[in-house]
Amino acid sequence: MNSSARPGDVPARPTSRDVAERAGVSQATVSLVLRERWQGRVSPARAETVRAAARELGYRPNLAARSLRLGRTRTALVVVPALSSEFFAVMYAGAARVAADHGFGVVLYPSPEGIGPAPDPFAHSGATLDGVLASSMAAPALRSLSEGGLPLVMLDSEPRDPGAAATVNPDIGDGMRQLARHVLGLGHRRIAHIAAEVDSWTFRERSRELTREVARVPDASLVRTERAPLTVRGGLAAAERALTALPRPTVLVCDDDVLAAGACKAARRLGLRVPTEVSVAGFGDTDLATAVEPELTTVRLPAAAMGEEGMHALLTVLRGEPAPGTVLPVALVPRGSTGPPAGD
């Protein structure tokens, strides 16, 4: 501990020695952990103890000195299609936590073109950034950011994209399989898909798996697919189209909780009770899922873990090591918006 500090005091400007004393380890161990080089040398439990001690003390490495040694700015760019989505906000928070633990700064950049080509927000991105973490986009959309040789880690994106140094994905296919089996298990045979009007891997995967699962049940059919912008109003309009067409579906499977909230609103406007006359399911398990009544059956996506794992992957790539593709588990969350279909 700093000589001027009394026992139990938190040092005004903590050092790696202070972190080592707090964690009960050597300074070398602190260096290994905070530089993400502890795997195989330090136990996961001890590594977390070091990170916790650093957080408690408010320790941050000397970024200026380290940048000179490494020739890096120790700054990562996080690119998302929009800031209005709770999913991206939670994902960003997870990435920022890991970055802070390892002395990295994070710049958040919402692409003004959505999932389309993201323009370079800096005149010379390669001179100001070490790497890019991007969510729910395709690697070619980041071409202007990665042409300078910046490592690119993709989240919730095509796992075979050759432009990405690593990918971290939720198991989207399994999530839709779980959801489809849930509604089919309840007895639904006329299913409508309220699909996001977004051409990206994550939504194509949802559509593909829903179609496959419905096709496995001989008397079940996907009676309609209605595409909608990712808004409550978009979900409402698409659900109204599905529910006023014949044959009328008994369940609306929505690509996102926002679309599902709009679908519930459409059912009420048409005088249909959820779930006794029509069931509604969402995807994402955002706060909105429990803000509506009845609460939404949905699929929980690990947004924070995606950000955390994505930043870990980017740090691994920056060390010159290969980062394997990661698939994170998802979970079906059954709630009151789904039930057995009413008899015709």
319 vs 244 pLDDT, higher one: 244
> What six digits make up the tokens of 246?
């014949």
In 3D, which of 59, 65, 36 has the Cα closest to residue 48? Answer: 36
The predicted pLDDT at position 131 comes to 86
Gap between the Cα atoms of 206 and 263, Å rounded: 18
Percent of the chain clearing pLDDT 70 (strictly above): 82
Mean pLDDT of the chain: 84
Tokens at residue 265, please? Answer: 């609103």
Most confident of 41-45, 70-74, 133-137, 246-250: 246-250
Its pTM stands at 0.75
Per residue in 46-91, pLDDT tens? Answer: 888 988 888 888 776 654 444 434 446 788 888 887 766 788 889 9
- Please state, in angstroms and rounded to a whole number, the distance separating the CA atoms of residues 13 and 220: 65
Q: Which of 177, 155, 174 is nearest to 166 (CA)?
A: 155
Predicted local distance difference test score (pLDDT) of residue 14: 78
What backbone torsions phi and psi does residue 262 show, to the nearest 5 degrees? -65, -35
pLDDT over 50 (residue 126) = no
45 residue type, one letter: A
What confidence tens digit (pLDDT) does each residue in 192-229 have? 999 999 888 999 999 999 999 999 999 999 999 999 99
Least confident interval from 68-82, 90-104, 266-280: 68-82
Q: Which residues, 6+ apart, have CB-to-CB distance to 220 below 8 Å?
A: 184, 188, 189, 190, 191, 214
Strand boundaries in the chain, DSSP class E: 75-80, 105-110, 131-135, 152-155, 166-170, 190-196, 221-228, 251-254, 279-281, 298-300, 326-328, 331-333
What per-residue confidence (pLDDT) applies to 70?
44
SS3 114: coil
Q: Which of 175, 327, 330 is nearest to 253 (CA)?
A: 175
Quickly list DSSP for 243-300. Answer: HTSSSPPSEEEESSHHHHHHHHHHHHHTT--TTTT-EEE-SB--THHHHSSSPPBEEE
